[in-house]
Amino acid sequence: MATQKRGSSTTGWPKNSTQPSYGAKRNGTGSMALNRTISLYPLTNYTFGTKDPLFEKDPSVPARFQRMREEFDKIGMRRSVEAVLLVHEHGLPHVLLLQLGTTFFKLPGGELNTEEDEVEGLKRLLTETLGRQDGLKQEWVIEDIIGNWWRPNFEPPQYPYIPSHITKPKEHKKLFLVQLGEKALFAVPKNYKLVAAPLFELYDNSQGYGPIISSLPQSLCRFNFTYM
């Protein structure tokens, strides 16, 4: 069956938006590098301290979606960003996850402010979540976008595409790969644990980690990892 190729000008959401090319900024060219290498450092290179608890804005899931509904009427679609921080242990890539309780895991990140730049907003959120407390500035190197997820309704399900019948998604979440330095100090809120989960544990494990985190092995497979 013949297929028709759609023009690039008719695809994407929002319409008429321009997407930044992070590879083009680094390489000085108009195209992304085809062979991307990410340096991973041992988990033992990093130091983990604690700081005051970091609480969610909403006391419950229903309250969260009620606030989302109210804000959507005022400012439109929510924009969120999350960071994928990678280390290695025993020669295997691990993702740093925030664990709340015994069964809930999340990537560091959160909601952007109105008209806030997504990269600067992610750096702000990373500093609020994991930034050190000794006054030294933490440098966050945002490497690349590795995923776009959409929430079509004021409900938990999110998808890596916009369903065809949805004209106004309620939330757009972007996942960014962050290049960690050789050494770093992370201050973890007392009500969370920072755990390193191997990619093989995340793979095809949406029951344990949810659809977004469990899809990270597929999202990251286009990179070449160098174990330092």
Is 95:197 a contact under the CB 8 Å cutoff?
yes
- From CA 44, how far away is CA 26, in angstroms rounded? 29
| Whether the predicted pLDDT of 24 surpasses 70 | no
Rounded to an integer, the average pLDDT of 37-65 is 92
* Cα–Cα nearest to 111, from 99, 131, 98, 128: 128
Q: Is the pLDDT of residue 9 over 80?
A: no
Q: Is 17 a member of any domain?
A: no
C-beta of residue 23 within 8 angstroms of C-beta of residue 144: yes
The pair of three-digit structure tokens given for residue 107, joined into one six-digit string: 């990537």
Residue 177 covered by a domain: yes
Contact 179, 39 (CB under 8 A): yes
List of E strands, the chain: 37-40, 46-51, 78-89, 92-100, 104-106, 109-111, 141-151, 171-179, 184-189, 193-198, 224-227
| The pLDDT of residue 32 | 52
Q: Is residue 21 part of a domain?
A: no
Domain count of the fold of the chain = 1
Q: Identify the CATH number of the domain in which residue 139 sits.
A: 3.90.79.10
Q: Which pLDDT belongs to residue 56? A: 85
Q: What is the mean pLDDT of residues 16-25?
A: 45
Q: What is the pLDDT of residue 57?
A: 87
Does residue 43 belong to any structural domain of this protein?
Answer: yes
- Report yes or no on 207 lying in a domain: yes
* Residue range 153-173, pLDDT digits in tens: 999 999 999 999 999 999 999
**Over 50: is that where the pLDDT of 207 sits?**
yes
User: For residues 125, 160, 171 and 31, what is the CA-based torsion angle, rounded to 10 degrees?
Assistant: 60
14 within domain boundaries: no
The answer to whether residue 3 sits within a structural domain is no
Domain span including residue 65: 38-227
Q: What percent of the chain has pLDDT over 70?
A: 86
Query: HSE of 46 in the Cβ direction (CA atoms, 13 Å)?
Result: 26
Query: What is the model's pLDDT at position 173?
Result: 98
pLDDT at 221 over 80: yes
| Per-residue pLDDT at 20 exceeds 70 | no
d(CA 216, CA 147): 9
Look at residue 33 in the predicted model and tell me its pLDDT: 56
Q: What is the mean pLDDT of residues 184-202?
A: 95
Tens of pLDDT, residue by residue over 62-105, are 999 999 999 999 999 999 999 999 999 988 999 999 999 888 99
Enter the tokens of residue 124: 């702000």
111 domain residue, yes or no: yes
